[in-house]
Amino acid sequence: MKNNYPIKYAVMPIIEQTGWTPGLNELEREYGIVCYIVSKCYVVGREEKYNRHGNTECEYKVVFPYKKDNRYDGLSRVEPEFCLMDGRCYNSINVDKVFDSFEEAREDANKKNKEILSREFSFIRLDDDYQKNLSLVREKQEEIVNYYQEIEGMIEENSTDLVVNDKVKEQSVIFGCDDSYKKKEYSLYDMIRLYNDENFIAYNVSLEDYLKIEEQLKNDQQVDIEGIKRNRLLTSYSDDKKVYVINNNSIEKSCFYIENGSLYYYDRINYLLSAISRDSLVIYTIETYDDVINSYITDAVISRDMPKNKDTEKVFRKEIKLR
C-alpha cells in the first residue's frame, strides 16, 4: 500500500454551525462540536507530554479517512497530506486516545456525547418550562447523534480497505535491467513516480519468491527468474506516460491506468499483454492488484460510462451524502 501508517479507531468530532456571533461588520457563523462518532484513522504521529502533576499524557495526530466536501455536500475520502517544506501533516487533528476495536471507541464516544448533553442542560433556565425544555434538548441531541451514527456506519462500510493493526508489507522492490538485478529500498509507488516516462513492467510475486530472489542477490548468485511464479501487475509505455494496472483475473479484461498520480478506467487491455521490449526496466514486488487500486482509491477519476462490475465497483469515488 502507498500509505502504511498504523490504522486505529478514534473518536471523531462532528463540527456544525451552532449559532451566530458578532463580527467586524455583521453577524458571523459560529461553529462547534455537536456530537462524536467512531471512525478508523491513520495514525501519523504521537507526542508525549508531562502535565503539572508530573504524569505522562499522550496525544495522537490522526487523519480520518472522510472529511466534509462542500462541493458534493457530503464526505469524501482523504489520505494524509504533508507539507513539503517542513514535513508537517496539514490535514491531521489531535485526539487523546486511539483504540484497537470499534467497541472501545464507541464507549468513549458515548461518554463524550453525554458531556455535550450535560453542557446543553446547563444552559436551560430554571423556570416553569424547565422540564419541557429539558426534554426538547434531549430529543434534539438524540436526533443529531442518531443521524451521525448512520453516517458512522457508512464510513465503516466504506473503509474496509483500512485494516486495524494490519501488518505492514515489505515496501522494497527488486529492480532489473539488462539481466542485472538489485534490491531497491524504494516502494513500488516511488518507482511509478520516478519511472513513469520510461518503458517498464512490474510483476507481482509471492513473499516466498521475493525472499528467494533477495537471498540469491545477497549470496551473489544468478537470479533464477524462470523458477518463480509471476503475474504482470503494471505496464508502462514511455510514449503515453501512462502506467497500466493489469487485473489478470478480470473476466472483462479491463484495467485502470495511473497518470499524474490519479487513477483512470481503461477498458481495452489486449495489446498491453503483448511482449515488452528487452530494454524495458523490470520490477518485482509483493504488492497486489488490490493493493495498487486501494492505494489510489481517493484519487480515482470516475467516468460516468464506466461499467459497474466487480472489477470497477471498488474504485468508484466513495462519497457519503450528508443530506
Please tell me what DSSP assigns to residue 80. Answer: -
- The winner for highest mean pLDDT among 38-52, 73-87, 156-170, 263-277 is 38-52
Arithmetic mean of pLDDT over the chain:
85
User: ∠ at Cα 2 (244, 42), nearest 5°?
Assistant: 145
**Cα–Cα distance between 288 and 233 in angstroms, integer?**
7
Q: What average pLDDT does range 245-274 have in this prediction?
A: 71
Q: What is the pLDDT of residue 217?
A: 93
Is the pLDDT confidence value at 160 over 80?
yes
Q: What is the pLDDT of residue 293?
A: 85
pTM over 0.85: no
Q: Which pLDDT band holds residue 290 (cuts at 50, 70, 90)?
A: confident
Q: Is 189 exposed, middle or buried (0-12, 13-18, 19+ CB in 10 A)?
A: buried
Q: Which pLDDT band holds residue 258 (cuts at 50, 70, 90)?
A: confident
| Residue among 47, 148, 38 at smallest CA distance from 94 | 47
Please state the domain extents for the chain.
7-157, 173-321
Is the pLDDT confidence value at 266 over 60?
yes
Q: Which pLDDT band holds residue 276 (cuts at 50, 70, 90)?
A: low
- Residue 292's Cβ-side half-sphere holds a number of Cα atoms within 13 Å equal to 30
Q: Which pLDDT band holds residue 301 (cuts at 50, 70, 90)?
A: low
